[in-house]
Structures are given as C-alpha cells and as structure tokens.
A and B are shown apart, each in its own frame.
Chain A
Amino acid sequence: MESFELKRSKDSVNSDQSAHWSSFPDEVLERVLSRLKSHRDRSSASLVCKDWYHAERWSRTNVFIGNCYSVSQEIVVRRFSRIRSVTLKGKPRFSDFNLVPENWGANIHAWLVVFAAKYPFLEELRLKRMAINDQSLEFLAVSFPNFKALSLLSCDGFSTNGLAAIATHCKNLTELDIQENDIDDIGGSWLSCFPESFTSLEVLNFANLTSDINFDALEKLVGRCKSMRVLKLNRSVSLEQLQRLLVNAPRLAELGTGSFSQELIVREYEELESALSNCKNMHTLSGLWDAKGIYLPALYPACTHLTFLNLSYAALQSLELAKLLPHRRRLKHLWVLDTVEDKGLEAVGLNCPLLEELRVFPADPFDDEIVHGVTDAGFVAVSFGCPRLHYVLYFCRQMTNAAVATIVQNCPDFTHFRLCIMNPGQPDHLTNEPMDEAFGAVVKTCTKLQRLSVSGRLTDRTFEYIGRYAKNLETLSVAFAGSSDWGMQCVLGGCPKLRKLEIRDCPFGNAALLSGLEKYESMRSLWMSACNVTMNGCRLLAREMPRLNIEVMKEDGSDDSQADKVYVYRSIAGPRRDAPRSVLTL
C-alpha cells in the first residue's frame, strides 16, 4: 500500500471505478485495517488520509494509552467508539522505587465512569502503575456485563475486598491477573466468591498475595474451570496442596507454585513428581518459594519443554541450579537470584544455548557487608554460551569494562541491556576507571538496542557514546552518573527514537533540561530527580513549550528554588486537574 498514491487522490469516494485504494468501500477498508494489531501500525495508518483515519478509528477495538495523562477520557471516547480492550499506564516508573509521592494521581475511577457510559461492552482492562480502590473494582464488576479480563500490574490502593467484588459479579471472567501490586491483603474469602456455576476462568494469578487463601474454594474452582491454562499460586499453598491442584489441571501451560519446601514422605514426593510430569503443556514455571534443593528433582522429569523458568523467589545455590539446568535445554527466559553466584551462571552458559533473556536479582540488595552474588565473570560466562541473549537485567557488585566489551561481542543482538552495579558510582573494579567504555561498547555493538540502564562511575563520555551510537534507543535510565550538562545534552541531541528518559542523582541542570525543548514533544516523558534543575528552569520550559505538562514535586525542607523532582510529558489534554498539593503544575 503506497501512501503517496493515496495522497494524490483524496476526493475519490464518489468518483470513477479505478481501483484506487481510497475508493474502497469503508467496510472493506475497515476490515483490512482491523487486521492491524500493532498500535504503531495503526497510528501510522490513521495518518495517511482522512478516510484511513476514520476507518482505523472505527475498526480499532484495543486502545493502548502509555501515559494516562497524555490524553483525556473525552478525547479517547470521541475518537474510538468500539473499544473492547483498554491498556492504561499511569505513574512514572520510578514510583516503583518510592520516588513518586503518594497520592500523585493516576486514579482509574474517572476513566471507568466514562467507559461505563461509552464502552458498555468493554471486555478487558489492563492497568500498570495506576491507583485503583475497592469501590472502583466493584464499579467495574457491575458496570460491564461482558467483562472478561482484568490485569493489574504494579497498581495500588485496593484490597482483597475489591477482588471479591470481581469474583462475585463478573460472570464471564476469563482472566484475573494480579501482579506485583501494593495490595492490602486482608485475606478472607475472595476466592469463595466465585459462584458454583462459574467455569470460565483461564488465567488466575494471585502470587502477589501474602495471606492464606481458602484452599477448598481454590480446589473446587480449579476443578470446574476446565480451560484453565495459567495458574500462579501464592506462598501459602503447600506442596501437598499443589499436587492436588495439578491432578485436576494437567493442561496448565503456566504454573506458579506456592511454597516449595514442605517435608514430604516418599509417596507424597512421588505423587508430586507424577503430577508435574503430567503437565505436558507446561512452558512457564515460577513460584518455587523457599525451594529446597532436595525437592527440586521433582521438577526434573516434568517440564522438559519449559521455555520460561522464574527462580527469583528461590534462593538456590550454584550446585542446585547446575543440577536443574541440564534438563532445560529449551529455556529461553531465566530469572534467578544472585545466590547462584558465578558458578551457577557458568552452568547457564553451558546448558542453555537458546537463552534469550536473563534476569539476575540480588538476594541481599541492601547489605553491603555481604560479598557474594554475581560478578562480571558470571555474565561473561553466560555470554559465551548463549549467543541469542538479547534481554538482560543484571544486578551485581562489580563489573569491568573489558567484561562488558566481551559480553556484547558474544551477544551483539541486545535489545534490552539493564546493568545495575549496586554501589552508586563504582568504577571498573580492576582498572578503577569509569565504566564509560563498557556502555560505549554496548551502544556501538548492539545496534538494535531499545532499552538501556546504566550504572557505575560514568563521565559525560558515556553519554557522548549513547547520543552518537544508540540510534534505536527508546528508553534510557540513568542514576548517579555524568559530569556536567553536556552529558544529558548529548543524549537529547542524539538518540532519534528516544521516548522515555529517566534520570536521578546526576549533575544535570537547566542548560541540559532546556536543550531538549524540541525533543520532549516526540517523547513520552522525562523524569529528573535530585539533579540540578531549578524552578526557574522549569518555568522557562513550561513557557516555551505549552503542549508539555511540567510537574514539579518538592521534598520537605529543600531550597525553594530547587526543583527536586521534575516530570515532563507531552499531553493533548492540558494540565491535569487532579494533582495533589505536593505536585506543582507549571
């Protein structure tokens, strides 16, 4: 489909019989465009011409809003009338680390009210970093008779009572996915609220909840939901209970176990092993809370088709991981704790040739006294064995420039490179130099790089490299790095595809902030905290760029002129009206 041809024939609706694209009847155009799934493709299609714009908006059933304040509810419902599925993201990512004040905003309720009026047939709602309370959950449950799927990731403000409302009223629910939320777990019987007649659940994830659940209700629920394919339990579910559930759900594709450390007698162990090996469709396994080495062999015969193994709640030692892995040659995604140490990662390199994603989380992140965990050696070992590696999140206490250079040479296809050297501003531990050359190597070698998190001691040179070489970079996270404004200016002046920039504790000031004037409108957002930006700098930015929202959050007791936390984002909705007092909108 050539767009330039279409632009030449704008007024073709009622014209000749020539087979120009734009003379297709609307329904055909809509039918074709409805095949487009990617939001970016849809956005591009909507820009071609007016016909396409309308056909696209009438055929769109799924709307993705990456920043809930970038657009208003009215604008959304006016443009799209047939929405069945909504994805909304709210707070800036640094709210995950307590950097955003409470009550900052991103409350879902106003959206729900509008959706209830305009999208009564809404089926799916996926929220990330939004605030949602029990009343909203209840409102959701009763307002949308066709509601099928609820996914809450990193949200806050609700309790298990809200879940009870969902269970009670959503008769067609297929998915209830509660992940990583700040949830008030009052416990109780929300699971028992699913009626006896309810059988449609396919996805149930409550791994996040801490309190005991009503196992009897769960067992019955799993028993009658024959299409269940994803089940992620919380820690309160024991091994023996797990076995009972699995017997009734052998078709599970994704399993999150509960606690994996009950003492079992031989018969119970064998029953568990058998139940696990009967799950022939299982490709994803997580949970394994408190897993003890002696029970892990129960996993060996099962799940030889595993592609995703999440061991990040199990403090496994290197040997335990080394014994587990030879059965997992198909692994593509592996999450572990750094208790496996470099030796464990060597085993990964030896046994997982198809590995695409590795995440290593720290078991003791705040304890500087302890020196264990993983180092540069472990990462290098993985890179030698896993050439397809393209996503890494690596928390470590030491790294070298040479190691990173080797790693990217072995794995040039990185799309996501998130390296966290946990000690802020730490240099190369062998040469004591800054880690500039490491990240230089990353951006020079990994041309497909979309996401980068830098750490360690970094001068402006790192940012010169990034600005110059990271042509596909979309998300950049920076902490405790840089020497001067020049660093940030390099990034803003380069990186043509930059969408999200989040910075904390760096010596970047107003000159840096203002150098991105033109850039911010093509980005989703900018976050700067504990930098050198002042209120005057922010006011100037606000004056120059009226289509940007500039929000400043001040810390207690700080200088009046300092802009402690700045959040800049583009918006067609204008400044928001629901900001709390602690957030100043300029």
Chain B
Amino acid sequence: MPDMELQLGLALPTPNIMKGFDLNNHGLHHLKQTGCFSDKSKRSFDQAFGNFKQDRKTKTLLLWSGQPNEEEDHKDQKKTTFSAIDDNDEEEVEQVVGWPPIKTWRKKIFKQPNGAGGIENNRVADKEKSRSIYVKVKMEGVAITRKVDISLYLSYQTLTNSLIAMFSKDKKCGDDDYTRYILTYQDKEGDWLIAGDIPWQSFTRSVQRLKIIRNRD
C-alpha cells in the first residue's frame, strides 16, 4: 500500500513515531493534523494553486516535544523549539536548537553564496556551463521532495519524462490512469506559473522550484 510505503520512507519528527503508532491510520491522521502534508481530499485545484500565490509568509507549525516519553501529557513536557515548515521558505530553518550536532562553521559552508555544490540552496549560481542546477521538486500528495538537476535536460519534454519516471512509484491508489498532472514552477520573483510558456533556456535560468499538481479540470 502506497501510504505505508511512504510512511516508512519518511523521517519526520512527530511524537507518534516515538510511540510506535499504527501505520495504517493513526500516523497518517496525525501527520495530516500537523499540516505537514497536503491532503488531497481537502484541497481543490484552486486551493492548491492559489496557495502558492497567497500568503507565502504563513508558516505551518510543527510542535515537537522535547521529551521522547510515552505519555503525551507528561507534566514536564518541554517543547524545545518549534520548526517552521513553509513550502515557499527559501531558508532552511533549524528544527531543534543545536540538532543535528553540526558545528556552526560547517553550517556556514552550506549557506555560502557559492554553496557546497549549492545543496542547501534551491539553486546553484550557474556561472559556468558545467554547473549543476538543482531544484526541488514536490508532487502534490507525495510527502517526499526530490531534487533534479535541470542542467541535464534540453527541453520540457525530457524534463517531464524524467519527472514522470521519478514519481510514478509515488502515485497513490485511487488515482485513475486518467488523472492528469500539471507541472508548475516558481520563478525568480516568487510567482508560481505553469511550465511551458517560456522558452526552455529562459526557464532554466528562472526556475527556483518545481511542483507537480493534479489537474482537476
């Protein structure tokens, strides 16, 4: 079952993982409650697409208990810090203070403009032709974000083919074969647009992120 596979593949800090939750329902229900994931049954196309434009600054709070205890209402339950997970947040935010235990100067390497290969940023400054251009790709309804190197593709077609291959195993049951998807991207100004309107080269210079959303027309 795709749901279970997805759950097992994830590494997200929720109290339920520590409790040993029932994978079938409980976990997913809780994860939905925290708002980490887009829940396909709740979001319409407009809502999905509309969210990209509005409210880029709203953050989804993931409250995480500092105590890996069994009891939810342990009286000394501490919340170390909360993390802000925002789809459109360009910066990476620390989930818990000082965790994972990486030295400060090492974190700074990744935040340099040139990036350590630009892993932490959405894009690498592509001054030379040989540089990779990694952008994040999210698919609606799929929890896992991936990264693709745009510089490896020559056209929208090849990119789309590759994305289909990448995400085909993540398609949930319940989608019929006629479900169609739209590839959208976020440009340098932060706007979300449908991919395909501008020439490929302009696209590669402009794209910051990709999102594959379901076409509900």
Residues of A within 8 A of B (CB): 94, 96-99, 154, 180-182, 208, 210, 235, 259, 261, 263, 289-290, 292, 294, 312-315, 337, 339, 361-372, 395, 397-398, 420, 422-427, 429, 432, 457, 477, 479-483, 504-505, 507, 530, 532
In the bound complex, do residue A180 and residue B109 qualify as a contact, i.e. CB atoms below 8 Å apart? no
What are 26 A-to-B residue pairs whose CB atoms are below 8 Å? A96-B101, A96-B104, A97-B97, A97-B98, A235-B114, A290-B116, A312-B106, A315-B117, A362-B102, A364-B110, A365-B100, A367-B92, A368-B95, A369-B136, A371-B11, A398-B11, A423-B12, A429-B8, A457-B18, A477-B101, A483-B69, A504-B98, A505-B80, A507-B67, A530-B80, A532-B76
Q: Which of chain A's residues have a CB closer than 8 A to the CB of B99?
A: 97, 424, 479
Other-chain contact of B78, A94, A210, A422, A530 (Cβ < 8 Å): A530
In the bound complex, do residue B103 and residue A154 qualify as a contact, i.e. CB atoms below 8 Å apart? yes
Q: Which of chain B's residues have a CB closer than 8 A to the CB of A314?
A: 116-117
Other-chain contact of A423, B11, B80, B103 (Cβ < 8 Å): B11
Known contacts: A369-B144, A369-B145. The answer to whether A315 contacts B116 by CB under 8 A is yes
Other-chain contact of A99, B20, B98, B105 (Cβ < 8 Å): B98
Complex Cα distance, B128 from A292, in Å, reads 11
Given known contacts A371-B11, A420-B100, what 4 new A-B pairs fall within 8 Å (CB)?
A94-B98, A289-B114, A365-B100, A371-B144
Give A530's nearest chain B residue, CB to CB.
B66
Known contacts: A365-B100, A424-B99, A532-B76. The answer to whether A507 contacts B120 by CB under 8 A is no
Q: Which of chain A's residues have a CB closer than 8 A to the CB of B108?
A: 210
**B174 → chain A, closest Cβ, in Å?**
23
Complex Cα distance, B108 from A235, in Å, reads 13
Other-chain contact of B94, A208, A366, A532 (Cβ < 8 Å): A366
Complex Cα distance, B10 from A372, in Å, reads 11
Known contacts: A289-B116, A424-B96, A426-B11. The answer to whether A361 contacts B102 by CB under 8 A is yes
Other-chain contact of B97, A99, A294, A312, A477 (Cβ < 8 Å): A99
**B22 → chain A, closest Cβ, in Å?**
11
Q: Which of chain B's residues have a CB closer than 8 A to the CB of A398?
A: 11
Known contacts: A313-B116, A371-B10. The answer to whether A427 contacts B95 by CB under 8 A is no
Give B15's nearest chain A residue, CB to CB.
A425
Give A369's nearest chain B residue, CB to CB.
B145
Count, A-B residue pairs, CB within 8 A: 153
Q: Which of chain B's residues have a CB closer than 8 A to the CB of A505?
A: 66-68, 78, 80, 96
Other-chain contact of B100, A180, A313, A362 (Cβ < 8 Å): A362
Complex Cα distance, B147 from A504, in Å, reads 33
Q: Which of chain B's residues have a CB closer than 8 A to the CB of A423?
A: 11-13, 17
In the bound complex, do residue A422 and residue B110 qualify as a contact, i.e. CB atoms below 8 Å apart? no
In the bound complex, do residue A98 and residue B117 qualify as a contact, i.e. CB atoms below 8 Å apart? no
Known contacts: A96-B101, A99-B97, A424-B96. The answer to whether A365 contacts B17 by CB under 8 A is no
Residues of B within 8 A of A (CB): 8-13, 17-18, 20, 64, 66-70, 74, 76, 78, 80, 85, 92-110, 112, 114-120, 128, 130-131, 136, 138, 144-147
Known contacts: A368-B95, A505-B80. The answer to whether A457 contacts B68 by CB under 8 A is yes
**B76 → chain A, closest Cβ, in Å?**
6
Give B8's nearest chain A residue, CB to CB.
A429
Give B9's nearest chain A residue, CB to CB.
A371
In the bound complex, do residue A210 and residue B112 qualify as a contact, i.e. CB atoms below 8 Å apart? yes
Q: Which of chain A's residues have a CB closer than 8 A to the CB of B106?
A: 180, 312, 361
**B61 → chain A, closest Cβ, in Å?**
14
In the bound complex, do residue A425 and residue B17 qualify as a contact, i.e. CB atoms below 8 Å apart? yes
Q: Which of chain A's residues have a CB closer than 8 A to the CB of B100?
A: 362, 365-366, 395, 420, 422
**B144 → chain A, closest Cβ, in Å?**
5
In the bound complex, do residue B119 and residue A363 qualify as a contact, i.e. CB atoms below 8 Å apart? yes
In the bound complex, do residue B97 and residue A315 qualify as a contact, i.e. CB atoms below 8 Å apart? no
Q: Which of chain B's residues have a CB closer than 8 A to the CB of A482?
A: 68
Complex Cα distance, B102 from A300, in Å, reads 30
Complex A-B, nearest 3 residue pairs according to Cβ-Cβ distance, in ascending order: A315-B117, A97-B98, A369-B145
Complex Cα distance, B108 from A182, in Å, reads 10
Which DSSP category, helix, strand, loop or mixed, fits chain A's interface?
loop
**B20 → chain A, closest Cβ, in Å?**
6
Other-chain contact of A337, B95, B116, B130 (Cβ < 8 Å): B116
Known contacts: A96-B104, A423-B12, A427-B20. The answer to whether A315 contacts B119 by CB under 8 A is yes
Give A479's nearest chain B residue, CB to CB.
B99
Complex Cα distance, B116 from A362, in Å, reads 11
Give A433's nearest chain B residue, CB to CB.
B20
Q: Which of chain B's residues have a CB closer than 8 A to the CB of A337?
A: 116, 119
In the bound complex, do residue A366 and residue B144 qualify as a contact, i.e. CB atoms below 8 Å apart? no
Known contacts: A366-B95, A368-B95, A369-B145. The answer to whether A507 contacts B69 by CB under 8 A is yes
**A386 → chain B, closest Cβ, in Å?**
24
Complex Cα distance, B109 from A290, in Å, reads 10
Q: Which of chain A's residues have a CB closer than 8 A to the CB of B105?
A: 180-182, 208
In the bound complex, do residue B101 and residue A420 qualify as a contact, i.e. CB atoms below 8 Å apart? yes
Give B76's nearest chain A residue, CB to CB.
A532
**B45 → chain A, closest Cβ, in Å?**
22
Q: Which of chain A's residues have a CB closer than 8 A to the CB of B12?
A: 368, 423
Task: Among B99, B114, B130, find the residue whose CB has the most chain A CB atoms closer than 10 A.
Answer: B99
Other-chain contact of B117, A208, A290, A365, A369 (Cβ < 8 Å): A290
Give A364's nearest chain B residue, CB to CB.
B119
Complex Cα distance, B105 from A398, in Å, reads 25
Q: Which of chain A's residues have a CB closer than 8 A to the CB of B102?
A: 97, 361-362, 365, 395
Complex Cα distance, B102 from A157, in Å, reads 20
Q: Which of chain B's residues have a CB closer than 8 A to the CB of A372?
A: 147
Q: Which of chain B's residues have a CB closer than 8 A to the CB of A366?
A: 92-95, 100
In the bound complex, do residue A481 and residue B68 qualify as a contact, i.e. CB atoms below 8 Å apart? yes
In the bound complex, do residue B20 and residue A480 qualify as a contact, i.e. CB atoms below 8 Å apart? no
Other-chain contact of A397, B11, B69, B92, B115 (Cβ < 8 Å): B11
Q: Which of chain A's residues have a CB closer than 8 A to the CB of B85?
A: 368
Q: Which of chain A's residues have a CB closer than 8 A to the CB of B146?
A: 370-371
Q: Which of chain B's residues have a CB closer than 8 A to the CB of A339?
A: 117, 119
Complex Cα distance, B144 from A372, in Å, reads 10
Q: Which of chain B's residues have a CB closer than 8 A to the CB of A180?
A: 103, 105-106
Q: Which of chain A's residues have a CB closer than 8 A to the CB of B20?
A: 427, 432
Complex Cα distance, B119 from A530, in Å, reads 31
Q: Which of chain B's residues have a CB closer than 8 A to the CB of A371?
A: 9-11, 144-146
**B98 → chain A, closest Cβ, in Å?**
3
Give B62's nearest chain A residue, CB to CB.
A368
Q: Which of chain A's residues have a CB closer than 8 A to the CB of B9?
A: 371
Complex Cα distance, B19 from A457, in Å, reads 10
Complex Cα distance, B166 from A95, in Å, reads 41
Complex Cα distance, B12 from A429, in Å, reads 12
Q: Which of chain B's residues have a CB closer than 8 A to the CB of A99?
A: 97-98
Complex Cα distance, B72 from A578, in Å, reads 41
Complex Cα distance, B8 from A220, in Å, reads 57
Complex Cα distance, B99 from A372, in Å, reads 18
Known contacts: A367-B92, A432-B20. The answer to whether A290 contacts B114 by CB under 8 A is yes
Known contacts: A313-B109, A365-B107, A367-B120. The answer to whether A97 contacts B101 by CB under 8 A is yes
